[in-house]
Amino acid sequence: EAGVTQSPTHLIKTRGQQATLRCSPISGHTSVYWYQQALGLGLQFLLWYDEGEERNRGNFPPRFSGRQFPNYSSELNVNALELEDSALYLCASSLGGGGQTILSGNTIYFGEGSWLTVV
Amino acid sequence: DAKTTQPPSMDCAEGRAANLPCNHSTISGNEYVYWYRQIHSQGPQYIIHGLKNNETNEMASLIITEDRKSSTLILPHATLRDTAVYYCIVRATYNAGNMLTFGGGTRLMVKP
């Protein structure tokens, strides 16, 4: 069974440009999460999508946005790139809530990430 | 979500059990404890999680104290490939955002 897949593996952009990162969750998973890990820093939560809707957002400016498609894949868009946006962007997935409130016992599995370099 | 406290680093001899402690004194009754590890520049790898009972899988064992204020991850026979940063996380409930909040973790160095 395929794990969480992300593309591209590496991306180089110029300051001010836009970057788009893509994620395919594990088959059957409806929740997708995005994290940022800047070099030497910890993982910071960015976004959580469940069944097509944004459910939670971390402390990031609005130029970080994303969406989840009907097939539950997701993309993260970063507009007006700044040098400090250079980081490893990690996508993760889990079974979703099915529209109901559940305990958070559905394991979250991570992909290998996309490296974004802003020059 | 509850915060966790872990020692910043630990050493372990190859072949020995590695016992990684974690304090989560403000955990609430329906919050799970998760353990992940990250090997340099790779995506975090899920290890194990639990709510109240001790858990064991092919990778590790998780011991949670009765009051749930602390836990220990046990790698029974550490190998050099277990060298990584280990994160103990108390996951937010679904209504509170459902996410994993990563702290600094414990850098485990397994030595020959």
pLDDT in tens, B79-110: 999 999 999 999 887 777 788 888 889 999 99
Sign of the Cα torsion A36, A37, A41, A43 reads: positive
Rounded CA separation B81/A60 (Å)? 34
Q: Residue A101 and residue B30: Cβ atoms within 8 Å?
A: no
Which candidate in B98, B100, B101, B106 is best for mutational testing of the A interface (most A CBs within 10 A)?
A: B98
- Determine the pLDDT at residue A19: 98
Is pLDDT above 90 for A117? Answer: yes
- Determine the pLDDT at residue B29: 81
Q: How confident is the model at residue A83 (pLDDT cuts 50, 70, 90)?
A: very high
- Count of all residues that appear for chain B in the document: 112
Q: Which residue would you say has higher pLDDT here, B1 or B71?
A: B71
**Chain A residues with CB inside 8 Å of B51's CB?**
103, 105
Q: How confident is the model at residue A102 (pLDDT cuts 50, 70, 90)?
A: low
- Determine the pLDDT at residue A97: 64
C-alpha distances in angstroms, A7 versus A20, A30, A113, B34?
9, 19, 8, 27
Is pLDDT above 70 for B8? Answer: yes
Q: Which residue would you say has higher pLDDT here, B74 or B3?
A: B74
What is the distance in angstroms between the Cα of B65 and the nearest Cα belonging to chain A?
19
Q: Which stretch of DSSP H or E encloses residue B11?
A: strand B9-13
